[in-house]
Amino acid sequence: MSQFDEFDQKGSSPERSTGSIISHAFEIYKGIFLYAFVIMIIYIIGDFLLQLLTGFNVWGDYDDFSNFTRPKDEFWDKPGFGLYYSFSSFWNILLAPLHLGLIYIANKFNNKQTVEFSDLFIGFRQNLGQTLLYSLITNIIFAISAALCGLPFFFVYPLFMLGLPFLLFENLSAVDAISKTYAIAKEDYGTFLGTGLLGILISVLGFVLCCIGIIFTLPFIYVVMYSMYCAYCGKPRQI
């Protein structure tokens, strides 16, 4: 596939501000959320099979909200947790190409091009090895930051907001994508932090309001990544 290295002014690009980027992403997401829904269905099916394989039930005894008050150690000590977590992490890495597919669809929608279902799987044909390596590296970084009382994760995550778009639109290696997104993010960290936090908040809002709603909202963060790329690197088009 040709590299994305020209720019098309037909579509829109947001300003370099949190409000503009989130608004831009939201307008695009409204038009492509069914593809995001497909990604979540694939994730849920895979996760369900992993629970059957490992014997670990994520929800366990959580048949009512009162059970959420039980000690956290009891959850981590449940049989099969370690095995499930290992397989689940691997499953998340394998899904990274689908996230590239959603970003690709966001770009086609923004350019007012016809979107095809096969577009969702472009990540398996474009820079696949580097995408999986990037996902492995960032998942390790995110896991370590989350393990440090959780808070560092929210400060680290925004530094990687442009990584996936770089893999797709510029065909970079995993290391180069990480290096480039860090270099850009640190120059305007306040905007990246605000956009990242708000993007995450909106993505998990479906779980807060109604657990099943997260199926529709969780992939929103990847469209935010696309909008941020448009804001800081220009809006790409396929050549």
| Interval 88-147: pLDDT, tens | 889 999 999 999 999 999 999 999 999 999 999 999 999 999 999 999 999 999 989 988
What is d(CA 157, CA 148) in angstroms, rounded to the nearest whole number?
A: 14
pLDDT at 5: 42
pLDDT at 78: 64
Q: Contact at 8 Å (CB) between 177 and 161?
A: no
pLDDT at 65: 43
Pick from 162, 167, 160, 168: which is nearest to 138 by CA?
Answer: 160
pLDDT at 2: 42
Residue position matching structure tokens 């059957």: 52
Question: Which residue positions in the chain have pLDDT lower than 70?
Answer: 1-11, 58-81, 207-213, 237-239
pLDDT at 146: 86
What is d(CA 164, CA 166) in angstroms, rounded to the nearest whole number?
A: 5
Q: Contact at 8 Å (CB) between 33 and 203?
A: no
3-state SS, residue 107: helix
pLDDT at 12: 82
pLDDT at 34: 94
